[in-house]
Structure 1
Amino acid sequence: MTSPTPRTLDQARINSPTSHPDFQLPWIQAILCNPTTKITPLVTSGSQRTSEENATRNNNTMLNQTLTHPTGLRARITFQRPCTEPDSLTKREFCFLLSLGTGLDGASGRAHGGFSSLVMDDLLGNCAYTEAERGGYPPATATLTVDYRAPVKTPGVVLARAWMVSWEGRKIWLKGVVEDGTGGVCNAARALYINPREEGKAAL
């Protein structure tokens, strides 16, 4: 039996959902095995954080706790990789692989549209927070527009991607998509996030 490679061991340590059976599909394995894919920690509310960190970071118990169950959000992998979108400012994108159950349905076999908006808001916000490299309180959503182009089918797995397109002062503009396994766009989003003011500085 061949011993696991260091990369395999690191993935298992950081993000145990990689072993979820829904993530063994060929198109998902092609993403996860790509050397440019950097799997990042998925930290749920309160875990591995101090009370101070919990006060300043977005815990998002809605996504990480309430909707995470065997018929809802069954498993999730978070990662970063190079972005090929022409309007990407940093040429880096932030991604979720999401295994969705029928407990997220609006119509039968289709995830509720509000769930797609929630996913986009969470992912775009994480992108804004990380790209700004400020620490402290996360940026707030100012506007979020989601275009619904095709149903998000359940049960199934989708890929959500987000990237920054502009940054001016406290304002961060981003775009994102939710895609199916063929690369078809189910939802497309654009958003503006506002970083909190720093104490002692005038409003921008």
Structure 2
Amino acid sequence: MSTPLSYFQSASWCAAWLSHPDLRIDTSASNPFRETTKHDDAWKDRTFLYRASQDPQGVKSEGYIVMQIGAGVSGKDGVAHGGFLATLMDELTGGLVAALGLDRGLGIRTASLNTTYHKLLLAQGFIMARAEIVKVERRKVFVKAEIRDAAGDVCTTSEALFIINRSSLS
């Protein structure tokens, strides 16, 4: 039985991304994401991977979530619910900021998450979400992301802005 990670590592369109020697696996998931999707028919085998770039601010750093989704995330007609896809984008983009330590231990808040739905994503099978840090300006972190189906087609894209929390001493 193939796992989402092994499936995408063998897919020609994304094998280079997932074979980078600096990729790290992060097994944590935020509590809201876990609770929202904790049903057995929602998702299985979620893996979050990330790679820090050489840029001191983290620009061009990448994060990936590979997972298998099921009927538990469908809205209607077996299509993944838009709210689930937006939540996945928030989980991925915010998770990347946190995994890289760009929040300096202060935590972050989602200021905006603009999501565009390009193609229906069936709520069955493997998907891969990919995020990249675009820019960091003082307390603002800009991230872009996309969700692809098993064939490599882009189904959803997002642009996110996170605000790093202020220190309680400042």
After TM superposition, is the score higher than 0.5?
Answer: yes
- Partner of 2:120, secondary structure, is coil
Report the RMSD for the aligned CA atoms in angstroms: 2.6
Aligned-partner Cα distance in 2 for 1:33–1:126: 17
Superposed CA offset, 1:119-164 (max 9, x none) = 001111112223315124x210001100000111121111001111
Aligned-partner Cα distance in 2 for 1:113–1:181: 18
Cα offset, 1:68, TM superposition: 2.6
- Tell me the residue number matched to 1:190: 159
* 1:70 correspondence with 2:40: yes
Q: 1:29 to 1:130 in 2, by over 3 A?
A: same
- Structure 1 gaps of 5+ residues are 1-19, 45-59, 84-88
Give the structure-1-normalised TM-score: 0.69
> Contact conserved, 1:148 with 1:187, CA < 8 A, in 2?
yes
Q: 1:120 to 1:93 in 2, by over 3 A?
A: same
Aligned-partner Cα distance in 2 for 1:23–1:96: 9
Residue identity in the other structure for 1:195: I
- Tell me the residue number matched to 2:144: 175
Which of structures 1 and 2 has the larger relative contact order (alpha carbons within 8 angstroms, sep 6+)? 2
Structure that is richer in helix per residue: 1
Larger Rg: 1
> Contact conserved, 1:102 with 1:154, CA < 8 A, in 2?
yes
Cα offset, 1:175, TM superposition: 0.5
- Tell me the residue number matched to 1:124: 93
**Within 5 Å, which residues of 2 pair with 1:25-104?**
26-30=7-11, 31=15, 34-36=19-21, 38-44=23-29, 60-81=30-51, 90-104=59-73
- Tell me the residue number matched to 1:17: none
What is the aligned counterpart of 1:156 among 125, 129, 138?
125
* 1:23 correspondence with 2:23: no
Q: How many equivalent residue pairs?
A: 162
Residue identity in the other structure for 2:48: T
Residue identity in the other structure for 1:196: N
> Contact conserved, 1:39 with 1:77, CA < 8 A, in 2?
no
Aligned-partner Cα distance in 2 for 1:123–1:23: 16
Structure that is richer in strand per residue: 2
Aligned-partner Cα distance in 2 for 1:69–1:37: 32
Q: 1:191 to 1:24 in 2, by over 3 A?
A: closer
Cα offset, 1:74, TM superposition: 1.8
Cα offset, 1:91, TM superposition: 2.7
